[in-house]
Copies of this chain bind each other. A is one copy, B any other.
Amino acid sequence: MPYQAPIKDMLFVMNELAGLQAISELPGCEDATPETAEAVLEECAKFVAGEIAPLNHAGDKEPSYWTREGVVTSNGFKEAFRQFADAGWQGLQHPTEFGGQGLPKLVGTPCVEMLHGANLSFALCPLLSDGAIEALLTAGSDAQKATFLEPLVTGKWTGTMNLTEPQAGSDLAAVRTRAEPQGDGTYKIFGTKIFITYGDHDMTENIIHLVLARTPDAPAGVKGISLFIVPKFLVNADGSLGARNDAHCVSIEHKLGIKASPTAVLQFGDNGGAIGTLVGEENRGLEYMFIMMNAARFGVGMQGIGVSEHAYQHALAYAKERVQSRDLNGSPAGVAIIHHPDVRRMLMNMRAQTEAARALAYVGASLYDQAHHSADAGERARNQAVYEYLVPVIKGWSTEMSQDVTRDGVQIHGGMGFIEETGAAQHYRDAKILTIYEGTTAIQANDLIGRKTVRDGGKVAKDLIAQVRATEAELAGVEGADFAAIRKRLGQGAADLEAVVDYVVANFKGDIKGVFAGSVPYLKLAGIVLGGWQMARAALISQRKLAAGEGDASFYQAKIVTARFFADHFLAQSGGMRSAIVDGSAGVLALDVEQF
């Protein structure tokens, strides 16, 4: 099923919910007018549909594979990456001084969503490069920037993140990889890294590994980790490639999904030591890595939305085409299954969740732009705080929901969904990694509780809830059953989220395990209430457009219906989730390990 970017919904969200016009008025964002943004999206959609989407199912059937000379990527990936780079898509959001286009995140984000929607495996490579670029921009020396940034930004080379080791999954304190200073400003790196996405491939002539390692006198734990640049090929002063570095891919994993993307085991220093240079200061590697991680976490959230959109389109096309059984209201012959209420319910599940997560993510991108470009420092800080609150929600909730959505996608296909040739199952398999890498949902939820809720006493969360309440009040001004239902569910959702925030803040010190037992339900509740808030905002705007007789009435009516659906089917879950969080920890924690 060919993927088509949902440009109309993307532009609606950008313009009406995320304030693109206001973003384009910020210093440094002047080029990002709504007209330019629309042209960029159209160009990207065309490229993605023509060059990237067709490789998705083929790459699943014929994954990338390991050879002694290096990883060979799935058919067509190398050529497609060349086109991707040549067209400048890697540099969309990166600075013009390093060859990028310097567009705001709000404009880059829909393009990122499209790329992931078309082909998660392919899009992972640019996602990792983005993270490496962010880290070098923040902490790289001028020499490092001069050497590495332009090739990364232009897609001449790609980047990787090397965190995980066999004994250290999510626990970076356990990192053992060693970095020995050579006295000439370089280090020799020794160690094994696993789960390295695109840790080796044949799409570019060089790969820039960013590697966490410990210097000889480093303190134990996470405070003794430094970040190093370890290129696959050393780079000469003139930017040309030098010797092959002692960093080798010794195998790749046999995975449930995203099979075209090679997941490498990298061996550093088995032949004398891999040569690397320190990024920033010693022992601050974790801090820099978090820069990469935060960019990547938002990106993984977009993966969840992209694969959900693709699965939705796939299931929708099948539901419109597959004729099976008669209509419940009576029909002489069989009808397309989209006429059956439960198929309709599943399609609405898919559509409503995808739209809600998209809206929340784009609003997040807008906050990021305001945090980086507002003239006023207070404004920047305020937006940054809200953005940081949203990142774990966007990552955690969008990816969890993508597993529900892709499951509905298989189910709509019936028996054909279980047959791999149909392609519906690929989305289901691919999506399963999204709640795991770049920090599992539990790790996102820990971040949401610890750094994002408790540290400021729930202030940012409460400010958001106050905005939800303002929308609730606005809803009272519109007539009709749809708006009454949306208002009721949104108000209850806000009350439940507020009660949970209060519970988390009040009990964090006294009952830390009890609070964390509700961490993932809290993250999902925040996603549903804040996503439902965006759906309600979309409904209000649509109502105004309809009243004014502006634009595409069918599109706006559908927005209202979808918001209504989201309210009754998702916001209505808020009470149960609150119970699970506020009352549910006893059941989670009462058993001894021996009783399991």
Contact = CB atoms under 8 A, between A and B. Distances in A.
Interface string A562-596: 10111111001111100110011111111111111
Contacts of A562: 587, 591
A320 B596 contact: yes
Nearest to A575: B575
B591 A564 contact: no
A489 to B, nearest CB: 8
A414 B194 CA distance: 13
Contact of A348 (B316, B566, B588): B588
A66 to B, nearest CB: 15
A595 B554 contact: yes
A584 B348 CA distance: 11
Contacts of A566: 587
A420 B164 contact: no
A434 to B, nearest CB: 10
A282 interface: no
Contacts of A435: 411
Copies of this chain, complex-wide, total 2
A486 to B, nearest CB: 10
Given A325-B170, A342-B520, A519-B341, A564 B589 contact: no
Nearest to A560: B590
A414 B576 contact: no
Given A415-B169, A596-B347, A481 B586 contact: yes
Given A324-B169, A421-B254, A568 B587 contact: yes
A313 to B, nearest CB: 10
Given A341-B516, A575-B575, A256 B324 contact: no
Given A329-B512, A411-B436, A575-B576, A589 B253 contact: no
A499 to B, nearest CB: 14
Residue among A428, A564, A587 with max Cβ neighbours from chain B (10 Å): A587
A284 interface: no
A568 B590 contact: no
Contact of A411 (B195, B441, B575, B591): B441
A417 interface: yes
B256 A512 contact: no
Nearest to A325: B171
Given A442-B340, A595-B558, A587 B428 contact: no
Contact of A576 (B338, B481, B558, B576): B576
A256 B512 CA distance: 40
Contacts of A565: 584, 587-588
A478 interface: no
A436 B194 CA distance: 37
A186 B222 CA distance: 78
Given A411-B435, A584-B565, A420 B338 contact: no
A194 to B, nearest CB: 8
Given A414-B436, A596-B347, A580 B584 contact: no
A133 to B, nearest CB: 24
A451 to B, nearest CB: 15
A103 interface: no
A27 to B, nearest CB: 41
A572 B579 contact: yes
A468 interface: no
Contacts of A253: 418-419
B432 A425 contact: yes
Contacts of A594: 554
Which of A416, A442, A512 has most chain B Cβ within 10 Å? A442
Contacts of A587: 348, 352, 561-562, 564-569
A576 B572 contact: yes
A288 to B, nearest CB: 21
A77 B318 CA distance: 36
B417 A436 contact: yes
A429 B410 CA distance: 11
Contact of A561 (B338, B407, B591): B591
Nearest to A441: B411
What 3 pairs across the A-B complex have the smallest Cβ distances? A565-B587, A342-B442, A568-B584
Given A343-B442, A344-B591, A485-B583, 16 more contacts: A256-B410, A256-B429, A328-B513, A328-B516, A340-B442, A344-B588, A411-B436, A411-B441, A414-B440, A418-B433, A561-B595, A562-B591, A565-B587, A568-B584, A568-B587, A573-B573
19 contacts: A170-B414, A171-B334, A253-B419, A257-B418, A316-B596, A341-B519, A341-B585, A341-B589, A342-B520, A343-B442, A344-B517, A411-B435, A411-B441, A428-B432, A489-B579, A554-B595, A568-B579, A572-B584, A576-B576
